[in-house]
Amino acid sequence: MAVRNKADLLRGNLDLMVLSVLRKERLYGYLIQQRLATASGGRVNVQAGTLYPLLHRLEADKLIRSSWDDSTGRRRKWYELTAHGQRQLVRQAHAWREHADCLRTMLAPVLRLSSQ
């Protein structure tokens, strides 16, 4: 698969990934980038120019909320999941699993052939 196609696959699921890393804790932008990279084994490296518009959109959709805080010694905008965002995360996770299961079933014969 071409690198571009891999990037497209990840980009299509970036909302779900961001909601997932915000599931347990409040994070600011750089920490979100780090959590995405760590959780994906380094396969997801989101640039600020992609991440911040996505965060603004998720906030406009009321899936996350933000607040400014300078208690760490530096003024940062922290993001956290809303109750609506938590429900959306669960719905999207189930939909993604169904989609992945469908693809896994359809591609199993191809993958068996390629491993022979």
What pLDDT digit, counting tens, does each position of 4-61 carry?
Answer: 666 666 767 999 999 999 999 999 999 999 999 999 899 889 999 999 999 999 999 9
Six token digits for residue 41 = 């084994």
Dihedral sign for Cα atoms in the order 39, 44, 50, 54: negative
The CATH number of the domain holding residue 67 is 1.10.10.10
Read off the DSSP letter of residue 65: E
pTM of the model: 0.85
Domain boundaries, position 88: 3-114
Identify the pLDDT of residue 100: 92
Distance CA(92)–CA(19), nearest Å, equals 10
Number of domains in the chain: 1
pLDDT value of residue 71? 86
| C-alpha dist (Å) from residue 56 to 19, 25, 30, 71, 79 | 13, 18, 15, 23, 10
The pLDDT mean for the chain works out to 91
* Distance separating alpha carbons of residues 91 and 64, to the nearest angstrom: 15
